[in-house]
């Protein structure tokens, strides 16, 4: 166990943190928005607001773990960029900016607002900046006012908050009115905010989200989540997203811990463990974790974020059940990540994906608006925090 935690610490401090710190853009603000597979940096690339929010969250949480003032400085730099990404007239956070700071894509997406809340809440915990907390509260009220209806949360909007089609969070040939992914990360953002602001309405929304998840998103018969929905929560496609299921299986525990409601935990946790068990059977091998299964056909690509979430899901399942198969699966995932998923080239990080045979996917960049330090950085931070708790016992 000691060796495992030492290796994860090294991954965080010697690869992931230096890589992202090295992308700081002191000329245009924020961080470089694209690094291609050949490790060529593109400072002229658009800067995605999700990417920037995730960078802000990552450096804030890394500072809270490691207490390195330089990391708080990186978080502060990302925070200043997030302020520029905010629509001062209509409220909310844009989808992306051009490198010169002008708006590239003015879409207001619920998913994007949620990640900004998540990041601002973490930054408040790290830097105690009261304006960051106030910005998070404003975005919470914006989501509740603009991005939901009686049935739950909607997806995409124009700059002035008129509904628009949801290309950004729709995939696999469908156009979704509601998605599992947006609901999951609204829950995540709200949970982060609830850690620093115990507002009764915010608490009520977390309960409501879990009710929607249990009654609309989770498929009890198939022991998995449905992914894309119409307005009435009819599933649009036979799709099992292995990565999202294993991520949800542990990330929802954070919400249960925050709410501290034993009856709620007793109701929801068995569903989370069902998903961990199902993915263990359906997606896990000793050479990584498969991506998804669409209409019975498994996509065997090993996606960077899926590998990180699988490790965390198995670690969480082991903590909750004590079953050694989950501990063994977690260590197997780590060995795969360490040996195959990480890019050993100088000044790189993780590949976007590798094929089933272990060859890296050279058609995808190392950094782009979705490729960020959120999943793999969070994995390292969570593992090290749990390791510290074990040592303290």
For residue 392, being part of any structural domain is answered with: no
Provide the residue count of the chain.
Answer: 393
Tokens describing residue 82: 């997030």
Q: Give the tens place of pLDDT for each residue, 333-369.
A: 999 999 999 999 999 999 999 999 999 999 999 999 9
- 165, part of any domain: yes
| pLDDT (0 to 100) of residue 303 | 98
Query: Which single residue is written with the structure tokens 């999700």?
Result: 50
42 within a domain of the structure (yes/no) = yes
In a domain, 103, yes or no: yes
Instruction: Report the C-alpha gap between 61 and 59 in whole angstroms.
Output: 5
Domain holding 90: CATH number? 1.50.10.10
Domain-embedded: residue 99: yes
Q: In this structure, is residue 305 part of a structural domain?
A: yes
Residue 388: pLDDT band by 50, 70, 90 thresholds? confident
Q: What is the DSSP string of 290-347?
A: --EEETTEEE--EEHHHHHHHHHHHHHHHHHH--HHHHHHHHHHHHHIIIIIB--STT
Q: What is the pLDDT of residues 115-151, one digit of tens each?
A: 999 999 999 999 999 999 999 999 999 999 999 999 9
Cα distance between residue 65 and residue 160, in whole Å: 39
Distance CA 128, CA 120 (A): 10
Sequence-distant (≥ 6) Cβ neighbours of residue 142 within 8 angstroms: 91, 92, 113
Instruction: Report, as an integer, the average pLDDT of 64-76.
Output: 98
Backbone CA torsion sign across 371, 374, 379, 383: positive
pLDDT, tens digit (0-9, with 9 covering 90-100), for 209-257: 999 999 999 999 999 999 999 999 999 999 999 999 999 999 999 999 9
Could you tell me what percent of the chain has a pLDDT over 70? 99
Whether 391 is in a domain gets the answer no
pLDDT digits (tens, 9 = 90+) for 266-302: 999 999 999 999 999 999 999 999 999 999 999 999 9
Q: Which domain holds residue 286?
A: 2-385
In this prediction, residues 93-121 reach a mean pLDDT of 98
**Residue 119 covered by a domain:** yes
The total of structural domains in the chain comes to: 1
Query: Interhelix angle for 324-336 vs 2-10, to 10°?
Result: 40
């Amino acid at each position: 166990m000691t060796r495992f935690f030492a290796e994860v610490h090294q991954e965080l401090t010697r690869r992931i943190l230096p890589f992202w710190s090295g992308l700081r853009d002191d000329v245009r603000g924020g961080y470089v928005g694209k690094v291609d597979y050949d490790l060529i940096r593109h400072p002229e690339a658009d800067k995605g607001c999700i990417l920037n929010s995730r960078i802000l969250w990552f450096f804030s949480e890394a500072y809270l773990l490691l207490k390195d003032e330089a990391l708080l400085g990186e978080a502060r730099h990302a925070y200043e960029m997030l302020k520029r990404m905010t629509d001062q007239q209509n409220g909310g956070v844009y989808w992306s900016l051009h490198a010169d700071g002008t708006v590239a894509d003015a879409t207001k997406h619920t998913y994007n607002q949620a990640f900004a809340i998540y990041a601002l809440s973490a930054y408040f915990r790290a830097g105690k900046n009261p304006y960051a907390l106030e910005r998070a509260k404003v975005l919470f009220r914006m989501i509740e006012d603009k991005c939901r209806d009686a049935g739950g949360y909607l997806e995409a909007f124009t700059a002035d908050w008129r509904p628009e089609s949801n290309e950004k969070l729709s995939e696999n040939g469908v156009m979704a009115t509601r998605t599992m992914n947006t609901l999951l990360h609204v829950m995540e953002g709200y949970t982060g905010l609830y850690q620093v602001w115990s507002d009764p309405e915010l608490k009520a929304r977390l309960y409501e989200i879990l009710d929607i998840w249990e009654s609309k998103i989770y498929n009890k018969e198939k022991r998995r989540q449905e992914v894309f929905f119409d307005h009435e929560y009819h599933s649009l496609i036979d799709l099992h997203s292995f990565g999202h299921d294993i991520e949800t299986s542990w990330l929802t525990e954070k919400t249960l811990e925050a709410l501290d409601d034993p009856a709620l935990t007793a109701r929801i946790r068995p569903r989370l463990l069902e998903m961990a068990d199902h993915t263990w059977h359906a997606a896990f091998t000793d050479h990584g974790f498969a991506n998804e299964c669409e209409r019975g056909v498994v996509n065997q690509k090993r996606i960077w974020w899926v590998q990180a979430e699988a490790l965390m899901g198995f670690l969480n399942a082991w903590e909750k059940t004590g079953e050694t198969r989950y501990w063994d699966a977690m260590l197997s995932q780590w060995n795969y990540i360490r040996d195959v998923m990480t890019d050993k080239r100088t000044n790189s990080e993780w590949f976007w994906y590798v094929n089933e045979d272990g060859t890296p996917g050279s058609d995808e960049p190392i950094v782009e608006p979705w490729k960020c330090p959120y999943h793999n950085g969070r994995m390292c931070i969570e593992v090290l925090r749990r390791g510290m708790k074990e040592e303290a016992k």
